[in-house]
Structure 1
């Protein structure tokens, strides 16, 4: 399990109204539980006001403030790409420097170092206890200009959380994705005097099942990950009774809702059809009873609290209500999202889940895709808001267990009875030898790999050595090295290290290989009494 760093932010009501306490609730090291008090300044409020004027579709509360960098007035045309990018970055840096200052920043840096040393990502979970701060786009936080935004990182997996939750029951161990896709009412009945653009529900209903089928039949270059069986059931504008019946009669682990919604004190309303709605509290009962692990809402304001007058109602957003009732993970939208943007996000998100990525990592991957498509100077990539139960590890589908080799039927590395025996040998004391059983060895830093290497430069699913005979591909039978990593793998050829990055090369025996800082030798040979993993 990845180490976790959880930070809570609360207003000190007995002190100045702009006085906040920030403390580390959970850290992977004993001295990491630190506390810091700080004031919210007018400068950060100004940055927040500017951000709203450029990116928000509705008026949000005037809250918190922090030191600002001067930004000239926005051009009369609504803001050039350069100006809006600077405004986005300015608020993101300001929020980070306010929340992660002093001892909080030191503890966070130490936690990142611990996770890096373990070869795992660090889970960063932010708990906002002041309802007025929930509307802020914490997903845009970045340490400084030029550095990656936290929610886009796969080394720091960002989500929101809360400590006021029902205990997480023992969850089923799933080896497949079972998704209930609910297409609700395609018109916002809460709007008066205007026609809302209709969601392209049928397009989404067709695209998502097709995408999951493609992800289940993983292409050869991705065959390092055993495929996840996927089942998608679509309900078009069901009644509340129909929705509950389907959830109770099948063991779904994911609920996708696409339609319109509106905030409310009890988790808001989802418009299933013109004569049927369901609120967050009602939905939470059936989701927890049926052990749905992930609920995703392509609905307006799913992550926004309801307001009464000028004040936000605590724990009133749909995402918060579901988490409070014990749903392990909830993904909602902070603001309205365009149909095509939502579809792009859901497609990439679902594909990452089908490839066994944890939920928070899958969100980061899908968020990266939105930023690439629509740009940093648009708010699209910041709209998805992920809440995770503090006891949930993010695993929707059980990862491959250590020492178990699962190979898809269509893989080019499928086992042949005449596979020549091969081994990997370490080149530094103590010398170790690992047999490449059944013609395949998976290398990476997570459990489920045949050879687990932890250290700098090693990806979760780094590389694969496999045997391909003449029946599986044209040419001579041979062993191959296939790389899947972010960093690349290397083999020694004529005393020079050659990079293999997300491609495959044939291996001769003997060949020296390098994964991160680890050097190993590949040998085809008959060697008794060696390790088998």
Structure 2
């Protein structure tokens, strides 16, 4: 648990082993909308087990009216709801699968992946899963290194690409689109993002963004992270559309159009829907974007901003997406005037976990800050290449400083001439810089 506001260190642990992975796949039973056939597997080497799941109507949130008035719909007691969800899923044929997952999770942490193409299934509050065993914590997602994630399988044969290699913070492109429809200050979310990414110059903000502006900005394909404010609205098809504009003049951006705009943007890695009632919209976008965050039901402004602060702070520090969401939940619990268990409202749809940002190391930050060196990570992919690049830049800076101070035209013996030991140092540095430069050029493809 974070000890102070915006502390994300708990969720950025170099060398942390990969967590165990429990994938639970739900397939709707034809003609029975609340029944699902279930398969579950722990890691890739675990036994594939089968079972069934029946969703109760009372587990669903009542749809909030639009425009959002921050009227919170009544829910059953959340701890009880989480226990019911858990018991319905894991107390029968899948109990042995859960036991295997817990055994591996004790040593490595655990990711529980809820996978389904059903919007109704994803509308259930899976983040509240609670193991009724006396030795367990209240919520599964509260255990250290454990997360509840979601996934929508791709409809085509091609698998959705993963997050990809982390990008150096100065090279990251972030697109922030804000709207007045929710009544939230449009400077709040961009301010949170800029504070988390001070080394990222490419943070583009579009205030008062309407549907055409949002689609045009996404279709440009330049952003790797897209942050969109608004609110959700239920559709007859079961997903949600995005509503933007102003409270007095709302405009609907269809979820289908939003998904189409994101479909051909290979650079896009993460979409954050900072908007109430967007969990099903996130599920609609999940087949075309490696990672999507939405909000299930209603969330308070304070709770949402606390979540965003923890999320982006951890991402900027190099955390994986699952760790960053856990960081955001911690900030909600400890440092906001959240209502009830609002930490469970953000949902993460994720095909494969990973880090989006590769932060500079402490050595890199020191060199850049103290010596004013240019950023080496834009030219270096591995740790060895980064170290070599830094060493070359240090030698170049030393050589430049000596030549500036003593001049290259001074000769030994005259007044103000370069001392022999200094000239020897200049000649040695020049030889090293030339040799390292040639080796570096030879290593380039």
The TM-score by the shorter chain falls in which range?
0.5 to 0.7
Alpha-carbon distance between aligned partners in 1 of 2:140 and 2:338, rounded to the nearest angstrom: 14
Matches within 5 A, 1:337-352: 337-352=299-314
Alpha-carbon distance between aligned partners in 1 of 2:218 and 2:120, rounded to the nearest angstrom: 34
Aligned to 2:208: 237
Q: Is the 8 A contact 2:163 2:355 kept in 1?
A: no
Alpha-carbon distance between aligned partners in 2 of 1:260 and 1:12, rounded to the nearest angstrom: 31
Task: Establish whether residue 293 from structure 1 lines up as the match of residue 269 from structure 2.
Answer: yes
TM-score (normalizing by structure 2) = 0.65
Matches within 5 A, 1:435-514: none
Alpha-carbon distance between aligned partners in 1 of 2:250 and 2:338, rounded to the nearest angstrom: 40
Task: Establish whether residue 141 from structure 1 lines up as the match of residue 129 from structure 2.
Answer: yes
Alpha-carbon distance between aligned partners in 2 of 1:164 and 1:157, rounded to the nearest angstrom: 22
Alpha-carbon distance between aligned partners in 2 of 1:406 and 1:374, rounded to the nearest angstrom: 31
Q: Is the 8 A contact 1:152 1:365 kept in 2?
A: no
Matches within 5 A, 1:94-133: 94-114=84-104, 116-117=106-107, 120-133=108-121
Q: Is the 8 A contact 1:137 1:382 kept in 2?
A: yes
The match for 2:356 among 390, 393, 396 is 396
DSSP 3-state at the match of 1:111:
helix
Aligned to 2:388: none
Aligned to 1:510: none
The match for 2:49 among 29, 34, 38 is 34
Q: 1:203, CA displacement in angstroms?
A: 2.8
| Structure-2 change in CA distance of 1:115 and 1:406 (3 Å) | farther
Q: 1:19, CA displacement in angstroms?
A: 4.8
Q: 1:319, CA displacement in angstroms?
A: 0.9
Q: 1:287, CA displacement in angstroms?
A: 2.3
Q: 1:183, CA displacement in angstroms?
A: 0.3
Task: Establish whether residue 179 from structure 1 lines up as the match of residue 174 from structure 2.
Answer: yes
| Structure-2 change in CA distance of 1:18 and 1:124 (3 Å) | closer
1:129-176 deviation digits (Å, cap 9, x = unpaired): 554333321111111266142233442222111224453247653223
TM-score (normalizing by structure 1) = 0.55
Greater strand share, 1 or 2? 1
| Structure-2 change in CA distance of 1:398 and 1:280 (3 Å) | farther
Task: Establish whether residue 210 from structure 1 lines up as the match of residue 195 from structure 2.
Answer: yes
Aligned to 1:22: 38
Aligned to 2:282: 319
| Structure-2 change in CA distance of 1:406 and 1:126 (3 Å) | same
Q: Is the 8 A contact 1:165 1:323 kept in 2?
A: no
Q: 1:409, CA displacement in angstroms?
A: 2.7
- RMSD, matched Cα: 3.8
The match for 2:315 among 353, 360, 378 is 353
Aligned to 1:63: none
| Structure-2 change in CA distance of 1:361 and 1:241 (3 Å) | same
| Structure-2 change in CA distance of 1:181 and 1:38 (3 Å) | closer
Q: 1:380, CA displacement in angstroms?
A: 1.4
Q: Is the 8 A contact 1:29 1:111 kept in 2?
A: no
Q: Is the 8 A contact 1:21 1:36 kept in 2?
A: yes
DSSP 3-state at the match of 1:36:
strand
Aligned to 2:8: none
Greater helix share, 1 or 2? 2
- Alignment coverage as a number of residue pairs: 338
Alpha-carbon distance between aligned partners in 2 of 1:99 and 1:449, rounded to the nearest angstrom: 44
DSSP 3-state at the match of 1:336:
coil
Q: 1:253, CA displacement in angstroms?
A: 1.1
Alpha-carbon distance between aligned partners in 2 of 1:275 and 1:102, rounded to the nearest angstrom: 47
Aligned to 1:385: 347
Alpha-carbon distance between aligned partners in 2 of 1:343 and 1:350, rounded to the nearest angstrom: 11
Q: 1:374, CA displacement in angstroms?
A: 5.6
Where relative contact order (Cα < 8 A, 6+ residues apart) is larger, the structure is: 2
1:291-334 deviation digits (Å, cap 9, x = unpaired): 3111111222111xxxxxxxxxxxxx31122112x211111111
| Uncovered stretches (5+) of structure 1, i.e. residues with no partner | 60-77, 188-197, 217-228, 304-316, 416-447, 451-533
| Structure-2 change in CA distance of 1:250 and 1:209 (3 Å) | farther
| Structure-2 change in CA distance of 1:38 and 1:254 (3 Å) | closer
Q: 1:205, CA displacement in angstroms?
A: 2.9
Aligned to 1:410: 366
Q: 1:378, CA displacement in angstroms?
A: 0.4
| Uncovered stretches (5+) of structure 2, i.e. residues with no partner | 1-17, 66-72, 372-381, 385-445
The match for 1:281 among 256, 266, 269 is 256
Aligned to 1:6: 23
Alpha-carbon distance between aligned partners in 2 of 1:347 and 1:261, rounded to the nearest angstrom: 22
